[in-house]
């Protein structure tokens, strides 16, 4: 089994893949780096939207590693997105040359973390079987704003056989720190999603007869807030290309 440190070394060397299915048993995290002047608004936004923004760790300004991530936050994710005034201006495999001493990094729980538990419970995960990225969608649900930050809830979707939906709810609800129970089951139209085949982030997956689309809150929500709210500068992970931390997923399991 490849360790978090070993896979981070491959990412640092340039491997660029979605991380779903990598290092099962280890917690994966979304990344958002903001100037210190925007950090309070974001931490409050996260407190007010805990389903989509469960904060696992926050660095001091300028720090390049975190208490749950011994690697280098600037190089050890497979891919990054760079925003200026809310515009996506670049996607790249490292951001060391863009780093600033005033950047506070937030690590936010990712639903890839509970996929090992889903597989253990006999619930198939389509995008892992397909070797693709999870499909993610902007919804018509507004997050609760905080200071200068507002934006829509973003969700990830997994098609689940109807007789396993309850199992999927039960298993994932034990992991509230990595998005927990689904926010919506079935009826994508009610979330304002017109076409499951055309996700806003990641790759489309097949929804087979007898399968129900199940939606979990997604840690791309902070980046949707950046796009809406336009802080001067931000760095995020590329959707699906997560920080693989040094913390076991069992740490975040509740009874």
Could you list the residues that contact its own copies (CB under 8 A)? 39-40, 43-44, 47-48, 55, 58, 170, 173-174, 176, 254-255
Residue 58 or 204 with smaller CB distance to its own copies: 58
What are residue 141's phi and psi, to 5 degrees?
Answer: -90, 125
Q: Residue written as tokens 């740490």?
A: 251
Q: Minimum CB separation from its own copies for residue 229, in Å?
A: 17
Closest to its own copies by CB, 11 or 252: 252
Q: What is the number of alpha carbons within 13 Å of residue 230 lying toward its C-beta?
A: 2
> How far apart, in whole angstroms, are the C-alpha atoms of residue 207 and residue 135?
11
Sign of CA dihedral 23, 196, 136, 165: negative
CB 66 within 8 A of CB 107: yes
CB of 40 vs its own copies, minimal distance in Å: 4
Please report how close the Cβ of residue 55 comes to its own copies at its closest, in angstroms: 5
Q: How far is the CB of 172 from its own copies (least distance, A)?
A: 10
Nearer CB in complex with its own copies: 44/185: 44
- CA angle at 187 for the pair 125 and 143, rounded to the nearest 5°: 85
Distance spanning both ends of the chain, measured CA to CA: 27
The span from the CA of 144 to the CA of 6, in Å, is 38
Give 109: exposed, middle or buried? Use CB within 10 Å, 0-12, 13-18, 19+: buried
Q: Considering the complex, what minimum distance in angstroms separates the CB of residue 94 from its own copies?
A: 27
Degrees (nearest 5) of the Cα angle 239, 241, 245? Answer: 125
Of 68 and 204, nearer to its own copies (C-beta) is 68
Nearer to its own copies, 93 or 116 (CB): 116
Residue 37 CB, shortest distance to its own copies, in Å, is: 10
Return the number of the residue (154 or 171) whose C-beta is nearest its own copies: 171
């Amino acid at each position: 089994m490849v360790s978090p440190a070993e896979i981070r070394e491959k990412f640092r060397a340039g491997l660029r893949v979605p991380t779903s299915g990598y290092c099962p048993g280890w917690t994966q995290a979304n990344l958002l780096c903001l100037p210190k002047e925007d950090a309070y608004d974001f931490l409050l936004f996260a407190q007010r939207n805990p389903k989509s923004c469960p904060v696992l760790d926050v660095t001091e300004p300028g720090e390049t590693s975190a208490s749950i991530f011994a690697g280098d936050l600037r190089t050890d994710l497979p891919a990054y997105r760079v925003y200026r005034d809310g515009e996506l201006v670049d996607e790249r495999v490292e951001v060391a040359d863009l780093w600033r001493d005033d950047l506070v990094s937030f690590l936010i729980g990712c639903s890839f973390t509970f996929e090992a538990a889903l597989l253990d419970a006999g619930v198939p995960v389509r995008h892992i079987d397909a070797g693709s990225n999870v499909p993610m969608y902007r919804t018509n649900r507004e997050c609760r704003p905080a200071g200068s930050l507002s934006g829509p809830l973003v969700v990830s979707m997994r098609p689940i056989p109807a007789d396993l939906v309850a199992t999927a709810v039960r298993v994932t609800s034990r992991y509230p720190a990595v998005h927990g129970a689904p926010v919506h089951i079935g009826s994508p139209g009610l979330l304002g999603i017109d076409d499951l085949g055309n996700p806003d982030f990641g790759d489309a997956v097949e929804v087979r007869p007898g399968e129900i689309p199940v939606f979990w809150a997604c840690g791309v929500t902070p980046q949707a807030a950046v796009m809406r709210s336009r802080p001067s500068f931000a760095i995020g992970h590329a959707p699906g290309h997560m920080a693989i931390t040094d913390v076991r997923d069992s740490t975040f399991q509740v009874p």
